[in-house]
Each structure stands twice: as C-alpha cells, then as structure tokens.
Structure 1
C-alpha cells in the first residue's frame, strides 16, 4: 500500500469489496463493526484470531495470524467495537484477505454514519417499508387492518432492524423489511391472478408470517450484531409469532371497537384461526419446522411466495459474491447444493419502426 495514508483510500462496503476483490490486489478501506473475535490455533499450535466484521449489508471473517503486525492490536479488540480496516485486498485461500493492513477505531460521528447503512440499501429499505404500510392500509377486513396497523405502530422500529435469517437469505439489518415487502408484491400479484384467494388474509399473513423473527433475528439497536437470546433459542420464530398474534388479537377484541364486528362474516374467531394457520404452516413441511402442513389455499400460496423470495435472494447473493468457475458458472455456496448458472438475458431486439 506504499506510504499513502489510509485516509486517502476509497471507502467502500463489504459487498462492494466482494465484487472487485477477484481482480488484482486493490487498496481500500472499510468501516465495520466487530461482531466476534475467536482465538484458535493452527495445526502447528500457533495462535490466530478469526474476527467477524460486519456492516449494514454483509460480513466477512478476517483471519489474523501471529506473524501479522496487527496481531497484538487485535488481541485488544472488543465485541461491538467500530473500526476502520485498510489494506491491499485479495480473494485468497480464506476468502477476502487484507495485506499491509492499517487499523484504527472509528470516531463517534463515523460510527453513527455507519449505522445509517449504505445509502442505496437504506433508500431501498425505506421504500420497501413505505410499500408495506401502503399494502397494509389497503386491507378491507377491519379486524386484519386494525391488527396489522397496530403491529406496525407498536413494533415498527424493531421490524426495521430485524433480519429475515442469520445466514441464508436477507441476513442483514432491515432484511426482514425487504423480504416482507417483496413477498407482499408477489402475494398481491398472485391474488390478482387467483381471485378466489383472500387478498386481505394474504397481505396480513405475509406481514405476520415471520413476526417472531423480531425476537429471533433482531439486530442490536446500536450495531450490526444479531445477538442470541434464550426465548428465541428455546421457542423459535413460529411459536413466538403465534404467541404475539394471539396476544395482540385478544387485546384488540377487548376494545370497544370490536363490538362493531360482532355481526361480520366470517366471524372474528374464524379469521383469527386462518391467520394463525398461515404463520404455523408457512415453512410448508414438518421437517422444516412447521407444526402443521398448509391446509388452505392462502397457506399454500404464502408458503410458495416465501420460498420463491428466499431462493431468488440466494441466487442474487450468489451472482453478486460467488466465485466464477467459468463464464456464466458460479461455484455452489451454502446452502445451495449445486453450482448456479447466469440467467438468460432478455433478447435484444431492434426498436420497432
């Protein structure tokens, strides 16, 4: 990196780094948070650290061996610390590797800017959340509308900082908002093609299907770490979601407004059961954690909408960060079991006369 100071280097995100690291070594700097620092030993008994670094959209593991000039400095790194890491970045044996590294703590202003997230990602997530609000407001059933609106009002802040998973898809701060928004767009489109589907129930089901992840996959208020907690570990997001919706529904039915719904058909209790069924059955099979198989058209539709969005997000991540084995062939990645192939582009037709 010669003698130029780190401040002269371009500041990029981890995702941007992945996109260019397979080129010749390039000097860049990252602003990241330390999620964990594990001390390990090589086969020869020498100590080294595995430091997991995260930002708003991605993560990487930095392996620091005892011959690294930063080794002693890394021993003093604490969990959740905000740092700048600069170096010549390559896609090496262990993935992304910095060489000739320089490291320093971030200032309070730099950390605050980092927490705002990548501007493009933050803009997309804000637009997604606004669309979730708009779809929710379009629900005609007053019970599902009230429940959904109260959920967003009470838990919106927590929703906006939850991931959709820890690893496989939308595993980032705000990822659950992206997942739910795309599922709503898909569910509404499918309801337009299959008008027998209950559109209101589909929208509410999408909103609540992963609501337990507000406790299972929520990020810390002041960071990009996703801490574990005993409640989520022992119950999982499906039972947590069922419990949350049941509690909110019971509270809602105790309000004076509920008296106006007494003569509505279908009955409120039936609506509650159908919504709970969507949460319980959305994994689609017992071996994947659903306590019951889908038994309604909305349940099977929601399961497939969920699965489509998760799988296509995995493909997107694979194309963006995967290793190209040959033109158009990307090496398989966890949890995808095979190499993936670049999609067929749209035909390039001449303009119509």
Structure 2
C-alpha cells in the first residue's frame, strides 16, 4: 500500500477503489445524523497539501475512539478510497495514532510542497531585492524580516484557492512573476509599486487565514472576523511605514521624487482596491493603471488555481466535459494540449 499526501490522494481517486495510506492531522469533527436518524461523524483531516472529509458511521470499528480524539491528533489512515458525486469516500478505512517522530515529519510538510514553497519564497526575496525605490524596498524587506515566519504559514484563502498552509507565499510569488512580466510588456507601469502592491495586497490575511506553528487548521481571530484582511492590510502597511520613519535613512528620503507620502498613498490604494469592486469588498475602486493591473493579476492567479483544483477533482460528465466545481460558474472542458512538432 503506497503512502500519498492528501493532494495526491485527491488527484488520484476515481470510481475504482484506491488502496492507500496517508498521514494527517485531525482538523475537525462534527456529530451528525442522517434523515433516518442514523448517527455518524464527519471527520476533517489535513496535511500541508490540503484537507479532506471522511464519514465514520456508528458501526465503524473505531467510532468510539474517533469520538474521543482531540483535535490536532496525528493519524495514519489507510483504506480503500473512491470518489463519487459527494466527494471522497473510504470503505473500509481505519487509523492509528502517529508516534512523535512521524508527527514531526507530518508537521514539517510534504517534501514536494515544502520545496516548492521554499523556491517561491526565494523568488519573493529576489523580487524585493530588485526594487529600485529605496522606500518600497526597505518597506518590503522590513515586512519579510518581521513577519516572514507568519507569512510562510498563512493561506491565501479559507477555501477556493491556495487554501493551505503556505498558500499565500505560492499566490504572492506567482503574482510577482506575472507582475514582473506584465511590467515588461507595459513599460509605463510602475514596476516597483506593482511588486510591492502584490506583496502587501493580502498581508492582512496573516490575521485572517494563518495557521498555528504546529498545525494545519486555520483558526479564527476576532480582528480578522470584525475587520477583514483589507483594512488589516492598510493598518499593517501604515505601521511598517511608521517603523521606517525611525530609521536613519528616512531623512535622506525627503529629497526623493515622487514624495514618500505619495508613494505610501499609492501603495495603500493598491491594497484597498485590489478586489476591484465594492460588492467584492474593496472600500475603493481601482483608479490607477497599477491598481487595475494588480486586480486582474490577483483574479487570474486565483481563478487559475481554482481551475487546476477543479480539473483534479471534478467528475467527468461526458468525454472532455467535467462537472462544475464551486465557485466556478460553469462546467469545465478539458483544455487543448499544446502543439508538438513531430519529426
């Protein structure tokens, strides 16, 4: 029996049973009943690559043990897994508790995911180092220095896209690569401002979608619930900017053009407007070329990630047609492969 990550399990399951083992952390448990009154547990399991939900019926051999497990417990799960219209189902499946060494390996993360996120973070550091505006460069470096660890364990969302530990790093790195490329096509765009805007556009999610140091379950924080990530991001940028005013180099910035105050205002505008419309949560609408570009880069990367996940999970309705996956608006069609010149 092979051991897979949750993402690999999700991608490989079909109507045919797949015998597999995976390690995961108990992220949640709900007691439920069917319409006929039959009790069952809905178990949410998570690792560094994602999460899945399994049902444990009252006649499950370990039902009682599952009822008493504390959230955060590490489990080795094995069984026969299939995919149906309601998601992944295990029948039969069982579990054992992870020993301390296996738990540490689980918390360290899936090696492939960890390697990808390390490479993404290195790209982010590289883009920050390439900035020419000393104020934006110092601000971005200050953010990474103070909040780098928290940034690296934050998701880009609670669901829908990059909803995993470290997902925000993946999202920001890909957006930076896109912004850098687009700035080359439209040279009138302020590249420094765009890259800084990408880094900070979702920085408020460090208090809305972050994970604890030793877990794969996003918690809830009062500030995130009551304010949301855009106001929190604006507050954080202003706080970091005030920090830099205490540094010796701040005095030399007073002679720079455009003025530091104007740079700060434009950066705040990118954070405030990146959702694009009032109905999607932006307190203001995009009013500069950089703000429009950032909004569309953000939307493109989110939608592309949603489609990638949907292609991996969706059931086939007909040859080449896959059933709709929320929040995408329609059924998906298998994309056209790239042309390959034959010999």
TM norm structure 2: 0.98
Counterpart mapping for 1:189-204 below 5 A: 189-204=181-196
Q: Which segment is superposed worse, 97-106 or 207-216?
A: 97-106
Task: Determine the C-alpha separation between the residues in 1 that align with 2:290 and 2:340.
Answer: 38
In 2, the alpha carbon distance for the partners of 1:20 and 1:309 equals: 24
Greater mean alpha carbon deviation, residues 170-179 or residues 81-90: 81-90
Aligned partners of 2:15 and 2:84 also within 8 Å: no
Q: Which residue of 1 aligns with 2:63?
A: 71
**Counterparts of 1:218 and 1:34, CA distance in 2:** 17
Matched, 1:297 2:289: yes
Secondary structure, aligned partner of 1:256: coil
Structure 2, unpaired ranges of 5+: none
Q: How does 1:242-281 map to 2 (within 5 A)?
A: 242-281=234-273
State the match for 1:86 in structure 2.
78
Residues in 1 aligned to 2:45 and 2:21: alpha-carbon distance in whole angstroms: 13
**Counterparts of residues 203-242 of structure 1 (less than 5 Å):** 203-242=195-234
Deviation at 1:350?
2.3
Root mean square deviation, CA, Å: 1.1
**Distance of 2:189 and 2:87 partners within structure 1:** 46
Question: Where does residue 143 of structure 1 map in the other structure?
Answer: 135
Please list the CA deviations of residues 224-251 of structure 1 after superposition, one character each: whole Å capped at 9, or x if unmatched: 0000111100000000000000011012
Q: CA deviation at 1:155?
A: 0.5
1:335 to 315, 323, 327: 327
Residue equivalent to 1:348: 340
Say which is worse superposed, 21-30 or 43-52, in terms of deviation: 21-30
Aligned match of 1:32: 24
Aligned to 2:340, what secondary structure does the other structure show?
Answer: coil
**Runs of at least 5 residues in structure 1 that lack an aligned partner in the other structure:** 1-8
How many residues are treated as equivalent by the alignment? 343
Tell me which moved more, 111-120 or 288-297: 111-120
Match of residue 123 from structure 2: 131
**Displacement of 1:255 after TM fit?**
2.0
Contact 2:124–2:176, Cα closer than 8 Å, also in 1: yes
